[in-house]
Amino acid sequence: MRNEGTNDMKDNFTPDYMFGHFYEITPAFLKSIGVRAVLSDIDNTLAPYEQDEPDERIRAWVRSLSESGIKIALVSNNHAPRVELFNRELGLLAYPDSGKPKKKTLLRAMRELGVSIEETAMLGDQLLTDAWAGKHIGLPALIVPPIKDKTNLFFRFKRWCERPFIRKYAKKNGYEEWMAFWRISFHKEKV
């Protein structure tokens, strides 16, 4: 039915799992949802735009996943100089100019990691690029609030577009304080 198609479109934007910070995503959690590979955005997911290189928290997170046998690739819409410098120490498979929400680079990353769609998740901070890119090919979307969002009109508009999907997630899974970034709020015991 046509209507179901409409619903599927919406579902391509709603996060499957949300976290306050990337480093709260543990190997144990990933394994519990059957994930052994993560395709991760960089900007505002792992580090703010102006942070050129990974800090100890990022390195420790990458290490903990790797040591647990979980593969990681960086899939960024930013350009090669940014991605290569950020990845210099990490040495992960990394894809600049990935063209998210298009699926091409995600499929390539999974192919080169040697993993299937069924065992991979997409991590990012934007629903219209990261969540959509992953979800329309069947990857669960792990979403974090942006570390330090851009404040220009275009970005504010994009965040405004995300609100109904964050609200939908919060209604289903519970409201967390850091969701206030999207300017949604809930009464905890709303009847």
Residues found near Mg ion in the complex (CB under 5 A): 41, 43-45, 125
Q: Which is nearer to Mg ion, 43 or 162 (CB)?
A: 43
What is the distance between the terminal CA atoms of the chain, rounded to a whole angstrom? 33
Q: What minimum distance in Å lies between the beta carbon of 94 and Mg ion?
A: 14
- Residue 172 beta carbon to Mg ion: minimum distance, rounded to whole angstroms: 23
Of 178 and 186, the one with the shorter C-beta distance to Mg ion is 178
Tell the smallest beta-carbon distance from residue 130 to Mg ion (Å).
Answer: 6
Contact 42, 61 (CB under 8 A): no
Between CA 109 and CA 178 the distance in angstroms is 30
Which is closer to Mg ion, CB of 12 or CB of 126? Answer: 126
DSSP letters, 41-100, are: --BTTTB-TT--S--HHHHHHHHHHHHTT-EEEEE-SS-HHHHHHHHTTT--EEESS--T
Answer whether 186's CB lies under 8 Å from 175's CB. Answer: yes
Q: Which is nearer to Mg ion, 35 or 143 (CB)?
A: 143
Reported as type and span, the H/E element at residue 141 is: strand 141-143
CB of 46 to Mg ion, least distance (A): 9
